[in-house]
Structure 1
Amino acid sequence: MVITYHGGQAFRVSFGDLTLAFNPVSKESKLKTASFGADVVLITTKHPDMNGAEQASRGDKDAFVIDGPGAYEIKDVIVKGFQTESTYDNEERLNTVYLVDLEGMTICFAGALKSPSIGPEASEEVNQVDILFVPIDGEGELGPSDAYKLAVGLEAKVVIPMGAHMTAEHIKQFLKEGGSESVKPVDKLTIKPKDVADKTGEIIVLDAQ
C-alpha cells in the first residue's frame, strides 16, 4: 500500500491496480487542488475543502463515490461509514468516519471530526486500527491534544496527521503529545501488514505532493 498526501485532508491510497481517494479538494475550494485518477472516492464532509470527487475522475471513467454512512464493498475493499459531527468552517456539519479494510489492514479516516471519539457505533466495529488519519488543526475539528487522545483510545498503530489549516506549529504540538519530536516529514508512505504488526502509536508526517 502506498499513501500519498495532497494537502488539506486529501490522500491517495494505492494498492495493486486499485486507488482510493480520501477527501479530494474541490475546484470551488481556496485550497490547492490535485487531480489524479481513483477508483473509489470517500468524502467525509460536504465542504469544498473535502468533497472534490470530480478531481478524482480518470478519463471517461467515473469513480465510485462514497459520501455518507453505510456499508460498502468494492472489489476486495470493505468500507463502513459512521455519522459524527463537525463544526468545520464555523458551521454545524455532519461528518462521516470511515473504517476501511484492505490488504489485511484497517484504516480509520476521521475526516473533520470534532470530538476525540468516533462514537459508540463505530467503536463497536473496531477490532484494531492499523492506520489512523486524524485532523490536528483545531479548526472546527480536533486539535493536537484531542487528536492524540483519539489515537491512544483507538490504540492506533500508525497515526497520520492532516488538516486544511495545519501548520508547522500544529505538527510540533502533535509530535510533542506523542513524544515523537524527532520525526521528520516523508514524501510518501509505503506500508504492508507486517510493517505495522509491532507498532504502537507511531506518528508519520507526510509532505504534501
Structure 2
Amino acid sequence: MEIKYLGHSCFRIKGKNTTVITDPFSPDTGLTLGKQTANIVTVSHQHAGHNHTEGVGGTPRIVSRPGEYEIGDAIIIGQAAFHDAEKGLIRGKNVVFVVAMDELTICHLGDLGTPLKESEIEELGKVDILMVPVGDMSALNAAAAARLVRQIEPAIVIPMHYQLPDNNRELEPVGRFLSEMGTEGIVPQAKLTITRSNLPLTTQVIVLEV
C-alpha cells in the first residue's frame, strides 16, 4: 500500500486494486489537489475543505455517511462523531472512517473536534495507521491529538489538518504535535509504502510531505 499526503486532511491511499481519497479540498483553501483519480472518496463532513468530490476523477463511489460499505477490495466503516465539543451545535457532525484494505486497517478521523469515548475507541477496532487532525482551531489541538493517539495505540500515526505554507486556513503548525509526542526533528518523507509485514511494533509518527 502507498499513502500520499495531498494536503489539509486529504490523502491518496493506493492499494493493489483499489484507490481511496479522503476529504478532497476545494481550491479556495489555497492548496492544489492536482489531477487525482480514485475508486472511492470519503467525506468526513460537508465543509469546502473536505468535500470537493468533483475534483477527483474516475467516477469514484462517494462515501459520506455512517455505515458499513464494501467497495472493491475495501471494507469501509463510517462512525458518527462531532466536529466540536458541543455535540455538533457549533460546526456540525463528523464521520470517522475505518478502511480495511490489503490486510491493513486505516483510520481517518476527519475533523474530529472532541475526544472519543472508550466505547467509541473500542468500536474502531485495532488500527494500524491513524490519520489524526492536530492543528486546533476547527478540530483537535496537539495535546488532545497526542492523548487520543496513546489511547488508540496505532502502529503508525500520520498528522494532518495543520498549517501548510499555501493553506489559507488558520491552523497550528505540526511541530506542536511532534513536541507532544516527543518526536521533534522528524524528517518528512514523500510517501509511505507499507505492508502488514513491515508495520512497526511500537507507535511511530510519520510526517508526509505535500
The answer, yes or no, to whether TM exceeds 0.5 is yes
Give structure 2 stretches of 5+ with no counterpart: 166-170
2:118 pairs with 1:116: no
Residue 19 of structure 1 aligns to which amino acid in structure 2?
Answer: T
Partner of residue 173, structure 2:
170
The CA deviation string for residues 3-34 of structure 1, in whole angstroms up to 9 with x for no partner, is: 1111111110101232100001124x333131
Residue 66 of structure 2 aligns to which amino acid in structure 1?
Answer: P
Aligned residues: 201
2:94 pairs with 1:95: yes
The CA deviation string for residues 45-87 of structure 1, in whole angstroms up to 9 with x for no partner, is: 10010001111112xxx11000110100012211110111114
Partner of residue 137, structure 2:
139
2:192 pairs with 1:189: yes
- 2:60 and 2:74 mapped to 1: Cα distance? 14
Give the C-alpha shift of residue 111 in structure 1: 0.4
Runs of 4 or more, structure 1, over 6 Å off, are: none
Matches within 5 A, 1:1-209: 1-27=1-27, 29-34=28-33, 35-58=35-58, 62-87=59-84, 91-117=90-116, 120=119, 122-163=120-161, 165=163, 170-196=173-199, 198-208=200-210
Q: Secondary structure at the match of 1:6?
A: strand
Q: Given that residues 109 and 132 in structure 1 are in contact (C-alpha distance below 8 angstroms), is that contact kept between their aligned partners in structure 2?
A: yes
- 1:135 and 1:118 mapped to 2: Cα distance? 17
Q: Given that residues 17 and 73 in structure 2 are in contact (C-alpha distance below 8 angstroms), is that contact kept between their aligned partners in structure 1?
A: no
- 1:118 and 1:94 mapped to 2: Cα distance? 16
Partner of residue 168, structure 2:
none
- 1:78 and 1:104 mapped to 2: Cα distance? 11
Q: Secondary structure at the match of 2:151?
A: helix
What is the RMSD of the two structures over their aligned residues, measured on CA atoms? 2.1
TM (norm. structure 2) is 0.88
Give the C-alpha shift of residue 123 in structure 1: 2.5
Q: Given that residues 158 and 199 in structure 1 are in contact (C-alpha distance below 8 angstroms), is that contact kept between their aligned partners in structure 2?
A: no
Q: Given that residues 49 and 164 in structure 1 are in contact (C-alpha distance below 8 angstroms), is that contact kept between their aligned partners in structure 2?
A: no
Q: Given that residues 31 and 164 in structure 1 are in contact (C-alpha distance below 8 angstroms), is that contact kept between their aligned partners in structure 2?
A: no
Give structure 1 stretches of 5+ with no counterpart: none
- 2:117 and 2:109 mapped to 1: Cα distance? 8
